[in-house]
Structures are given as C-alpha cells and as structure tokens.
Amino acid sequence: MNSNEVRQKFLKFFSAKGGPASSGRGHKILPSSSLIPENDPSVLFTTAGMQQFKPYYTAPENAVRDFGGKNVVTVQKCVRTSDIDEVGDDTHHTFLEMLGNFSFGGYGKEEAIKYSHEFITKELGLKISYVTFYQGEGMVPRDEESAKIWKKLGINDTRPDGSDVFWGPTGDSGPCGPTTEIYCRNASGNDVEIWNIVFTEYFCDGSREKLNRGQAKLSKLTTLGIDTGMGFERLVSIIQNKKSNYETDLFNGEQTREERIVIDHTRTALFLISDGVTPSNTGRGYVLRRLIRRAVRFSKDPLNSKIEKIKKIYAGIYKLDDKGEIKKEEKKFRETLEKGMKEFEKGTDPFILFTTYGFPVELTEELAKERGTMIDREDFDKKMAEHQKLSQTSSAGMFKGGLANHEPQTIKLHTAHHLLLAALQNVVDKNIKQRGSNINAERLRMDFLCDHKLTDEEKKKVEEWMNDKIKQNLAVVRKEMPLAEAEKIGAQMEFGAKYPEIVSVYFIGSSPDAEGDAVSIEFCGGPHVANTGELRTFKIQKEEAVAQGIRRIKAILL
C-alpha cells in the first residue's frame, strides 16, 4: 500500500459500522485541526491527535452535541521539536501525522484493544511483537485488565512498564491516563512502537513535568475516555518493509543525516507556514525560523527543489503553500551564515557572533558540539542581560521616549525608524536631524527638524525610498567602537545625549568593516531585526507640525 491508501484504510475501518465489539465502530471522520492549537494556549503547536478534543474528556456530553456521537477518528498533523537532535536517524521527525480513534464514553478498554488488534493483524496483515501495560504507581493501579485482554487475543508477550506508559497531559494541565503500547518489527529487525492506546481516566492539575516531580495532583474523571495515536510515518515504513521512514513514499529516499534533516525541516516549515505561521524572533515564528535556518545550514542547494517535491508528495491530501516565506528566510540566512561561519572558525565570542553578525546562539552551540566542545552559555546569557539593560538607557544611544517594549513588531518598527531618518535626509534635506521618537507595536513616531511641511510628492518619495531598501533585504549589523570613531564616520546621534567612550552603532546595508556602503549609521543599543526584508511595506499615516521648525511623522508597517 502507498501512504495515502494507509490513511484511507484507517479512516474507513473506524468509520464503518460493525466490528468485534458490541458497540460497533461507526466513528465520525473529522478533519485534522490546525498546527496552531485553537483551545490550548499553553502549547505552541498541536503535538497530538487528542489536542483538539481535550475539552470533551471532561465534558463528554458535548461530543454528541458537536459530533453527533461519542466516537471520532482523525489523521492529525503534529509538530514536535523535543527530539530535534534525533532527526536524521531512521524514525524521528519534527512534523508527523497521527492516526487516532477517540471515544468520549462510547466504549472502554476491551473495545479499544480489540479494534487495534483487528486493524493491525487483519486489515494490515502485520504481526504484533509485544505490548506494554502500566505497572502502577501512586493512585494509579497496575493495569492487569489490559494484559488479560491482550492474552485473550493471543498476545502473550505483555510487558509491564512505568512512566513511559502513562500519557499526558499536553500543556499546563489536562486529561491523562495509563496506556498500552503496541510494538511491531521493522525491516531492520527492530521492534518499534507504532500505536499508543491511552485510557483517559484522570485529570492532572499541572504539567507532565510537575506530575513527574510530584508537584501536580491527579483526580479521577467521571467517564473513561479513549485516546489513541499511531505514528503514521513509522507504520508506513513497516507496511512498505523499509528500514527507514525516509525510504517510504512520504520522502525521497534521503540517506545521509544531513539530507534527512533538510527534508524533515523543510517539510515542517512548509506545513507551519501553510497553517499561518511566519518566521519571527519569538514563539512559533522563532521555532519556524530555526527550522528553516537548520535546513539551510545542512543544505548546499536551494531549498526550492525540496519544497516542490514535498508539495507533489502531498498533492490532493493537504493544501501546501509557503507564500515565498522559506525563500526569503533562506536568502537572508545564507548571507548571515557565510559571514558568521568565518567568524565562528576564528573563535569569535558567541555574544559577538549574535549581536554583530546575527548568528543564532543555538547554531553556535550545535557547531561547537559537533566539534566536541561547548560554549559558555552562562557567559553568553550574562552578556545578553547586560546588553538588554544597556539597550534601555539613553547612554547606549536609545532614543528619548524610546521603545514601549521588545515585541517583534516594535523591533521591526525600530529598524524602520532608523531607515526613515536616512530616507528624510536622502529625499527631503540632508540636514534633517531627529528630535524625538516613540515606538510601539502599532506604529512609529518621529519628530525631526525641518523648515517646511512635507509635500505629497516628498512623502511619496520617502515611502518609495523606504520600500526599495526593504526589498533589498539589507543586513542590519551592530558594532561597538570608540565614540570618536563613531563621530568620525558620521553616525547619527540623539540630540543632547551624553555617550560613553565605547558606543554601540547599528549599520543598515553593510558590514561594520565597510561603513561607506551603509544607508544608515546610528548610535543605538538595539534591538533590531537582522534584515530589512523582515519589514514588509512602509506607509506614512500622518505628517504634521509639533513646534516651530519641528515636524512629526507617524508611520506603520503593513
């Protein structure tokens, strides 16, 4: 069977009427939910098939209202980065699909186990190597019932296990319970876990980490729920008798660790962007950015060919569109990577690599690890804390009024603010000087010396100049230098501010070693984006007078 036939066989099996259990199957087929959780703000991504169903385990009566019944079946998209360092072996991925059947009081342990046994042994014709069951701990008793059910079905190799067979909760709290795991042998002769059946009997008032530390409490749910998850990529590799998931029709036969990392991360990035995530410096966007950057790092060739292959593999199954985001991020990072790698090889301080060259500290850590060394992360974090503290003081070049916060959009507008001063000097009058600013996530505001109201033509030219520089994807880099040197190269400074002997200067459009090519040079403590391409489109909202000889511009990024 090809991979899509496996998907359809699973859905058909559980949606069909009848079966070994008296309740019959008849699960309602529901679509995969988004990779961005709709009802669980405690997690960045959808990591399991049950995530969209969490509320129904504590209020099972709502399932009939919303689904017309108590049993549902899905093929769910998931993103998990906890095992990112393992990607490149035969079985680990950051994006995966989960085949799952779920019940909110519709049936219990015996039916769930019988369904899985029938599907694996009769529908797929596979042999179960062994199963596990929960050995019991604390208020959760040993699950002898599951072991007995398996033995009735002819599976005598049942193995008790501990915390590995207690699943959940996802996020900060939620339903959870003991599980029984099913193992089958792959083409390499290894037994791998392919299906996990969770008996959702409890609610945890804390995260899994807190539960493991004894800092969270379990309470018994009034209704037993069923939550199963079968790793689709692993299942397909066993069905197609492959030694690696990457040898199935879900991939292109990638063999080396590097090839596998590239295809895995590109695939994940494509699915995330298709669900509305865009690269940024925080949250989901940062995870996406890191995945793209790792793919770029391990790929000698442009990622576009991989994107097209992935789209063909999933044609007719998922709608995938990267909206050009991967290409833009790739272009920016290849420039950063080239400069940063040279400095890394020289042994440049990780802090300087990050602040001056935009080289991610996680990448520096990975590279060091590959060479058998470690960076001093404590030293890096200490320097970053000092750097952020300086960034909030006028002595480091921060504008009066300054940044309202360090949110991603505020940071983008901060960089746009630098460009705006350069645009006014280039388009309107080279003698224009800044006299104040205020920047938040909604807009930037700049006060500047100017002897006349800007004409519509001047405002249009300023916008055109700005957007041209944004489209050029100009690098934004930082350098610390003596005050006298910064003044000598013409760095823009805040009116009336006192500066220390060593100052922080930001260059837009060149490296600090080629100041003459920069379109903007300013005293500033940061923070800024790494590349003007992150700013998208600049638009002036309003231009007005605030005092004699002083004008004010309010502007936004679309």
pLDDT at 139 over 90: no
Task: Name the 3-class secondary structure at 496.
Answer: coil
pLDDT at 277 over 90: yes
- pLDDT per position as a tens digit, 442-484: 899 998 999 899 999 999 999 999 999 999 989 888 888 888 8
Q: What's the confidence (pLDDT) of residue 365? A: 92
Q: Where are the alpha helices (DSSP H) in 51-200?
A: 54-58, 61-67, 109-118, 144-152
Average pLDDT of the residues in 180-205: 95
b/e 391-405 (16+ beta carbons within 10 angstroms → b): beeeebbbbeebbee
pLDDT at 323 over 70: yes
Q: Which amino acid is at 87?
A: V
Q: What's the confidence (pLDDT) of residue 389? A: 58
Query: pLDDT band at 401, cuts 50/70/90?
Result: very low
pLDDT at 336 over 90: no
Average pLDDT of the residues in 22-28: 73
Q: Report the candidate in 107, 135, 151, 81 with the shortest Cα–Cα distance to residue 19.
A: 107
215 to 40, 161, 168: CA distances (angstroms): 21, 22, 15
Q: What's the confidence (pLDDT) of residue 221? A: 95
Q: What's the confidence (pLDDT) of residue 497? A: 67
Q: What's the confidence (pLDDT) of residue 63? A: 95
Q: What's the confidence (pLDDT) of residue 400? A: 39
Tell how far CA 442 is from the center of its chain. 24
Average pLDDT of the residues in 166-175: 87
- Rounded CA-CA distance 59/42 in Å is 20
- Rounded CA-CA distance 542/554 in Å is 5
When mean pLDDT is compared across 10-14, 230-234, 493-497, the lowest value belongs to 493-497
- pLDDT per position as a tens digit, 348-386: 899 888 877 778 888 999 999 999 999 999 998 888 777
Cβ-contact 520, 422 below 8 angstroms: yes
Q: Phi first, then psi: what are they for 378, rounded to 5°? A: -65, -40
Residue 246 CB neighbour total at 10 angstroms: 24
Q: What is the rounded average pLDDT for all residues in the chain?
A: 89
When mean pLDDT is compared across 104-108, 124-128, 447-451, 463-467, the lowest value belongs to 447-451
Average pLDDT of the residues in 75-88: 93
Peptide bond into 527 cis (omega under 30): yes
Q: What's the confidence (pLDDT) of residue 393? A: 41
Q: Where are the alpha helices (DSSP H) in 60-108?
A: 61-67
Q: Phi first, then psi: what are they for 326, rounded to 5°? A: -65, -45
Q: What's the confidence (pLDDT) of residue 495? A: 63
- Rounded CA-CA distance 181/133 in Å is 7
Q: DSSP per residue over 414-479, as a string? A: HHHHHHHHHHHHHHT-TT--EEEEEE-SS-EEEEEE-SSPPPHHHHHHHHHHHHHHHHTT-BEEEE
Query: pLDDT band at 126, cuts 50/70/90?
Result: very high
pLDDT at 15 over 90: yes
- Rounded CA-CA distance 470/416 in Å is 9
Cβ-contact 321, 327 below 8 angstroms: no
Q: What's the confidence (pLDDT) of residue 392? A: 44
Q: What's the confidence (pLDDT) of residue 500? A: 80
Q: Give me Rg for the CA atoms of the chain.
A: 28
Cβ-contact 471, 495 below 8 angstroms: no
Query: Sign of the C-alpha dihedral, residues 239, 244, 247, 248?
Result: positive
Q: Which residues pair with 523 in a beta bridge?
A: 505
pTM (whole model) above 0.75 = no
Q: What's the confidence (pLDDT) of residue 510? A: 61
Average pLDDT of the residues in 115-122: 96
pLDDT at 130 over 90: yes
Residues in the chain: 558
Cβ-contact 525, 398 below 8 angstroms: yes
- Rounded CA-CA distance 295/298 in Å is 5
Q: Which residues contact 373 (CB under 8 A, 6 or more apart)?
A: none
b/e 132-152 (16+ beta carbons within 10 angstroms → b): bbbbeeeebeebebbbebbee
Q: Domains of the chain by range and CATH?
A: 3-247 (3.30.930.10), 257-390 (no CATH), 394-557 (3.30.980.10)
pLDDT at 517 over 80: no
